[in-house]
Amino acid sequence: MSGSGAPVLLAVDLGSSSVRATWYSPEGVATGIGAQRAYLWRTGPDGRMEVGFDELLDVCVEVIDDAVSALRETGGKPVGVAVAAFWHGIGAVGADDRPVSPLVGWGDGRSASSYDRLRAALDPREYHRRTGCALRPWYPASRIGLFPGGPGSGGMWMSIGEYLISRLHGERVISLSQASGTGLLDTRTLEWDEETLAAANVSPSNLCRLVDVDEPVRGLREPWRSRWPELAEVPWLPPLGDGACANVGLGAVGPDRIGITVGTSAAVRVLWRAEKPEFPEELWCYRLDGSRLVAGGALSNAGNGIARLRRILRLPEGDGLEAVLAAAEEGLAEVTVLPDLHPERDGRDAGEGAILTNLVADTDPAAIAVAWMRTVALRIARIAGQVEEAVGGGQEARAGGGAVLQSPTWGRLLAAALERDLHVPDDAESTSRGAALVAAAALGHGPQIEKVSPATGDCITPDPARISRMRAARERVRRLESRFEITH
């Protein structure tokens, strides 16, 4: 029976391409995977990247259905639900809890005009100092301008995490973690930033109530209450930013550990306990909760490009793809790629799409994919250097994400670009594991996250030959970026 047995927590990971649900012990050990469902964003030539709120809600309900079914078969006593959700999504939900706009994702490129208005009204340095966000068109602070009608009286601006809780529980709340990724929160005072709200023409009454991890919601509404009686009265933490949870799951907690995630996109983060955020302008600084900061940088282009190149270049799938990538990585090809399919999130002035040079008649198609991976690794290493300079050198590097876990070539390239050992934990679900660990600590079922042992796994030590090839590639990339006036 599900009402007996060891305590377990359900972690729901609302990722940028799929939704997962996993049961964990309070110590962060997975006890069974409920389900995983992929979904698709709608894109178009105007730069849109959007999905329906209810489309994504239905996917969440499906994976929770399967997770609860698995619990009924295996046993366990649910003591909490944790939700990790992608940062930077935004859309309008009316007073009746029904969407009045689609949910806009991180890669949407239609915010130029509203971004220009924000840039004219706000001082970029002061804005960054208050919010921890750079003044960029892809933050929700700019995306709100895509929907001039807004949510209307009694409506709310929401991301998918807030919408999930609103529909399931009837509570309109947003975690400090999710709010910190909107560009609308003063991350020092932990209140909505009045100057930015005025510049974006946003009323505070149209924003969800700010809560921290120690303010869970309880009591599912119908029909969810009857559908999942096991979860009806357990505490649900307000959804947290997936990047912050990923660091916790990797064991990259504290100023001496840097967390790297490479999946569809990529990010470098350091998570630590601090009073006030003080970070250089080239890096963002969000929050996990009211006492912990997460800072770093992100890249829009990573594993997404390899998926596209595999189709264009007709590269093999699965183990066959890794075999040709590994062979090409050891070759001497000087083909160079600037991987800019999507607008980058690190503040660079990028070109109009990806750039490929040094292609010759006998270039192996896999060498083009490896060149993409090399440049991504080099950009990750650049962000890592900025993070180290801000918090102090000598950090341990820990990496996860689907791209790294599915391809040892990614790990070898990253280690060579960083020129240091790279720890790659075995656990493929670092984000959901991190969310479960945060929930266990907040609900009193587990230790504080600083005391959790890092996940075990492999350690990749870069060899001199790979470091030498990476240094040569770094110089080629530098020259190419200079030629096309792509700046950092």
pLDDT in tens, 80-102: 999 999 999 999 999 999 999 99
Answer yes or no: are the C-beta atoms of 127 and 120 closer than 8 Å. no
Answer yes or no: are the C-beta atoms of 196 and 141 closer than 8 Å. yes
Range with the poorest average pLDDT among 284-293, 452-461, 479-488: 479-488
Share of the chain above pLDDT 90, in %: 77
How does residue 488 score in pLDDT terms, banded at 50, 70 and 90? low
pLDDT at 150: 92
pLDDT at 108: 87
| More confident position, 406 or 67 | 67
User: According to CATH, where is 3.30.420.40 located in the chain?
Assistant: 7-238, 251-488
Answer yes or no: are the C-beta atoms of 85 and 53 closer than 8 Å. no
Whether pLDDT at 3 is above 60: no
Answer yes or no: are the C-beta atoms of 14 and 161 closer than 8 Å. yes
Helix axis angle for 318-329 and 365-391, nearest 10°, is 80
Q: Which two tokens stand for residue 132?
A: 């921890």
223 preceded by a cis bond (ω within 30 of 0)? yes
| pLDDT one-digit tens code per residue, 410-445 | 999 999 999 999 999 887 789 999 999 999 999 999
Range with the poorest average pLDDT among 17-26, 58-67, 328-337: 328-337
pLDDT at 345: 61
Phi, psi at residue 291, to the nearest 5°? -120, -5
User: Has domain 7-238 been given CATH number 3.30.420.40?
Assistant: yes
How does residue 4 score in pLDDT terms, banded at 50, 70 and 90? low
Residue of 308, 302, 304 whose CA lies nearest to 379: 302
| pLDDT one-digit tens code per residue, 120-158 | 999 999 999 999 999 998 899 999 999 988 999 999 999
User: What average pLDDT score do residues 449-475 get?
Assistant: 92
- In the three-class reduction of DSSP (H, G, I as helix; E, B as strand; rest coil), residue 229 is classed as helix
User: What average pLDDT score do residues 370-399 get?
Assistant: 91
pTM: 0.93
| pLDDT one-digit tens code per residue, 217-250 | 999 999 999 999 999 999 999 999 999 999 999 9
Residue of 94, 192, 83, 205 whose CA lies nearest to 141: 192
CA distance 290 to 273: 9
Whether pLDDT at 337 is above 80: yes
| pLDDT one-digit tens code per residue, 151-204 | 999 999 999 999 999 999 999 999 999 999 999 999 999 999 999 999 999 999
User: What average pLDDT score do residues 319-335 get?
Assistant: 89
CA distance 466 to 419: 9
How does residue 1 score in pLDDT terms, banded at 50, 70 and 90? very low
pLDDT at 380: 96
Is 232 exposed, middle or buried, given 0-12, 13-18 or 19+ CB atoms closer than 10 A? middle
Mean pLDDT rounded to a whole number for the chain: 92
Answer yes or no: are the C-beta atoms of 249 and 274 closer than 8 Å. no
Q: Beta strands of 27-180 (E only): which ranges?
A: 30-38, 42-43, 49-51, 77-85, 91-93, 103-104, 156-158, 173-175
User: What average pLDDT score do residues 44-63 get?
Assistant: 95
H or E element in which residue 287 lies: strand 284-287
How does residue 361 score in pLDDT terms, banded at 50, 70 and 90? confident
User: What average pLDDT score do residues 69-76 get?
Assistant: 91
Report how far Cα 358 is from the mean position of its chain's Cα atoms.
33
Strands 266-273 and 257-262: antiparallel
User: Has domain 251-488 been given CATH number 3.30.420.40?
Assistant: yes
Question: Residue 132: CB partners within 8 Å, gap ≥ 6?
Answer: 180, 187, 277, 279, 284, 285, 286, 287, 295
pLDDT at 318: 85
CA distance 456 to 282: 32
Encode 89-105: b = buried (16+ Cβ within 10 Å), e = exposed: bbbbbbeeeebbbbbbb
